[in-house]
A and B are shown apart, each in its own frame.
Chain A
Amino acid sequence: MVNEQDIELLDMYLDGELDDAAQAAVLRRLASEPAMSQAFAELEAQRALRMQVWKACEPIVDNSERWIAAIQAKRQRQGWLISILDYRQQIAAAAACIAVFIMGWNWGANSGAYRMIPGAIRGTQPARFITQQPIQGQKPAIEVRVTDASGNLIDRKLFKTLEEAQRYTEEIKLQLQASPAR
């Protein structure tokens, strides 16, 4: 009587997975056990049928050249794409520089801060706040800072006396009133 383990053993024998000793043992059993021999014949027949199926899977037309052509086309596309990307990167960089320049120019030109205070640092927003700050132990002793709503410095001036600083502050206030922030 042949059990499942015997079938597995015969399968492994047919697959060539047994070592020499195990192979010899299988051959001895095949010679002496008719049931084993019959099971072996059945397994061989089944395998032969499956081999016909596998063989039928082989193509009549060889598609290798088609696949290679696809790869070559891909290679060419990749090469072309790389050169295009380099070219595009250059153009993009140049375009970005021009765009930043134009935007900056317009922004600055439209900025209330820029127009209000000649020579002031271009701020992102119009001037809003003026602060006076005494500087301890130094001359000039008073610093006037003009900042926008976000705290960005628009203008900064140093004065020796509080009176001078006060005059400048009044001037700035008048300018702000004459040209209010948009």
Chain B
Amino acid sequence: MPERQERDLDALFEEVIRDHGPRLQAIARGIVGRRFAPEDVVQQAVSNLYEHRHRYDWSQPLPLVRRAVVNEALRLLRRPAMGSLDQFDMGAEAPPDANLVQNETVEQVRKAIDQLPNHFRAALVLCEYEGLSYPEIARELGITIQQTKTWIFRGRRQLEQKLADFVKSGNSVEEQR
């Protein structure tokens, strides 16, 4: 690759990361939950992508980087379980962004989301947080549009069920008091 093109690509790469870094980290956090540090997920994804940057078409850089982050997050989750950060009592020392989750109901929703199958969670993050259309999500995850709809729909229904169980168990505790 000519040196000038190489420099342009490097500049583009840095621009995408600068412009969308926090968003990429939020996507990573949404998918890996507290099992892995999201900043490490993004760093690894970005590093891998940079290493093979010449293989890709950079006409749409954000989807490319986002896909790398999603794939890296899902790749990590496919590895044998090493214990989630929750298990190490990260409650008090949790990353600062976790401190925003104060409301108990929201915390229950977060826990319920964490229990979803990884691919359902990835589809939901891309749909609700990123606001991507079904065809865009299908492209990101390398699946069909029908599969995308199914994953999102089932993910939401499973969440409903988990939260209904939470409400029921909460009520029963209240009744026992």
Taking a contact as CB atoms under 8 Å apart, the answer to whether A56 and B17 are in contact is: no
Known: A50-B113, A56-B106. A66 touches B39 (CB 8 A): yes
Taking a contact as CB atoms under 8 Å apart, the answer to whether A61 and B30 are in contact is: no
Range of interface residues on A (Cβ < 8 Å): 20 to 34
User: Is A135's CB within 8 Å of the partner chain B?
Assistant: no
Of A53, A58, A67, the residue contacting B109 (CB under 8 A) is A53
Q: Which of B42-98 contact A (CB under 8 A)?
A: 42-43, 46-47, 50-51, 95-98
Taking a contact as CB atoms under 8 Å apart, the answer to whether A62 and B113 are in contact is: no
Q: Which of A69-77, A124-132, A151-159, A170-178 contacts B (4 or more CB under 8 A)?
A: A69-77
Q: Count B interface residues, CB 8 Å.
A: 48
A42 (CB) vs chain B CBs: closest residue: B160
**Distance in Å: Cβ of A13 to nearest Cβ of chain B:** 13
User: Is B122's CB within 8 Å of the partner chain A?
Assistant: no
User: Is B133's CB within 8 Å of the partner chain A?
Assistant: yes
Residue numbers in B under 8 Å from A138 (CB-CB) = none
Residue numbers in A under 8 Å from B106 (CB-CB) = 49, 52-53, 56
A63 (CB) vs chain B CBs: closest residue: B39
Residue numbers in A under 8 Å from B26 (CB-CB) = 54, 57-59
Q: Which 7 A-B pairs have the closest CB atoms?
A: A64-B21, A57-B29, A54-B129, A57-B26, A56-B100, A60-B96, A56-B101
Apart from A50-B128, A67-B46, what are 18 other A-B pairs with CB-CB below 8 Å?
A11-B153, A15-B127, A16-B133, A46-B159, A49-B109, A50-B109, A50-B113, A52-B109, A57-B97, A57-B129, A58-B97, A59-B97, A63-B43, A67-B21, A71-B17, A74-B47, A75-B10, A75-B50
Q: Which residues from chain A sit less than 8 Å from chain B, CB to CB? A: 7-8, 11-12, 15-17, 46-47, 49-68, 70-71, 74-75
**What are 6 A-B interface contacts by the 8 Å CB criterion?**
A11-B152, A56-B101, A57-B27, A59-B39, A68-B14, A71-B47
